[in-house]
Structure 1
């Protein structure tokens, strides 16, 4: 898909995250998307489809059939291994997810279209947003649903994924977009979020992502995870979260595709 130029066709770039296809209404929404409207367009899918391989396969296949290209960055839910047999760890699950994405017609690699460069940034939380309290340690599902190699702490997980990221030269790309599931900065949480919910801050993201995306100087960064839809500019970068969320989350999620930019090829 690299170097497609000179055809004077418009490519819209859509953002979506946290589709949580385990919920039947969410998967039904995916299947009702038009098969003709998005054939020239790029979908950025910023994680949390499902920990179940068959649902991940179904959702990514359906989206790949509707869009010219689907760029997928896995989220924490996608790496859950709870109940999976044979037993594997979440790094092995990550490789399974990568294989599934490719089989379904999606990609987890850098996307180039003419002057457009879209760079996926893998990550995990490393407590750079704060130390987890007792309530979070007891209640956060990742601690039970993910499994890491012996001796791995959260900082090791974040460092592992950080090393997998490729930060290419962006000199020739006029339009640069970066993508992560996790938040790159804690001030993306709006002021209206109550103190009760701020106990989640330590597991929302990592400052490692902000350092990496700034190397690319993108105009837009797409992220997920928080389930709080917004588009806000901070220090010259527009940060966009368009989470679909659970069926009950109707106040903070829009339940629709959002076009964040347009390119031409």
Structure 2
């Protein structure tokens, strides 16, 4: 049994949907896919992808990304409602959103958001960041309380022990894993990439591998005895920093 990962498939782009649909129907029938968020803002498209991938893999594990929680029609009253709909839909379609155990391997999804623990956002970032318009939160919610809403749901899983632990989130757990070659101007996005609270939970789990998405900068880097992996599919025009394919990360 092999474990593969991909994130940020953004199937609202036709080229992406075509390539995801073309994944072999037979090659991965005994394998596991970790899908680390950002399928689509359309609930119908998310449902379609769940059905598509469940036919191709033995198991699919998923956490929502920020794009998945955009509210751009009247199908959800806010992003919490959208989150609940997606989690219920995943369960209905046979997609795993809770920890799963395969003998000596445990795979643990970690919900999260960003809370500016990687830096304070600039006015320019506030203006350009689509989440600020496309996500709708209950009154009184801010980035800190949104993050706490999500990461607190992980607490019950943090005592899981096994020979090999893979955890995964959509958002980054630490900013120091970003490559040093990132241009200074692009670093204005760092405040909205993730939260140190996710890293604290990884430390508690003692994850052997942690998979994440969101940054669209693919990497594999070992730090503090954990291998961090990002394998974003990315937008069609992103050719240099994304992989456009599944990545094998573990085999049992």
TM-score (norm 2): 0.97
| Equivalent residue, structure 2, for 1:247 | 236
The answer to whether the 8 A contact 1:167-1:212 is kept is no
1:13 is aligned, of 3, 14, 22, to: 3
| Equivalent residue, structure 2, for 1:133 | 122
The answer to whether the 8 A contact 2:8-2:233 is kept is yes
The answer to whether the 8 A contact 2:47-2:89 is kept is yes
1:109-258 equivalences under 5 Å are 109-165=98-154, 166-171=156-161, 173-258=162-247
| Equivalent residue, structure 2, for 1:8 | none
* Partner secondary structure for residue 251 of structure 1: coil
The answer to whether the 8 A contact 1:131-1:202 is kept is yes
* Partner secondary structure for residue 232 of structure 1: strand
| Equivalent residue, structure 1, for 2:25 | 35
Alignment length (residue pairs): 251
Cα RMSD for the two superposed structures: 1.0
- Residues of 2 paired with 1:95 and 1:187: CA distance? 32
| Equivalent residue, structure 2, for 1:63 | 53
Unaligned runs of 5+ in 2: none
- Residues of 2 paired with 1:90 and 1:156: CA distance? 13
Structure 1 runs of 4+ off > 4 angstroms?
none
The answer to whether the 8 A contact 1:167-1:215 is kept is no
* Partner secondary structure for residue 65 of structure 1: helix
The answer to whether the 8 A contact 1:16-1:244 is kept is yes
Deviation at 1:168, TM superposition (A): 4.1
2:89 is aligned, of 100, 106, 110, to: 100
* Partner secondary structure for residue 200 of structure 2: helix
The answer to whether the 8 A contact 2:76-2:82 is kept is no
Q: 1:87 to 1:167 in 2, by over 3 A?
A: closer
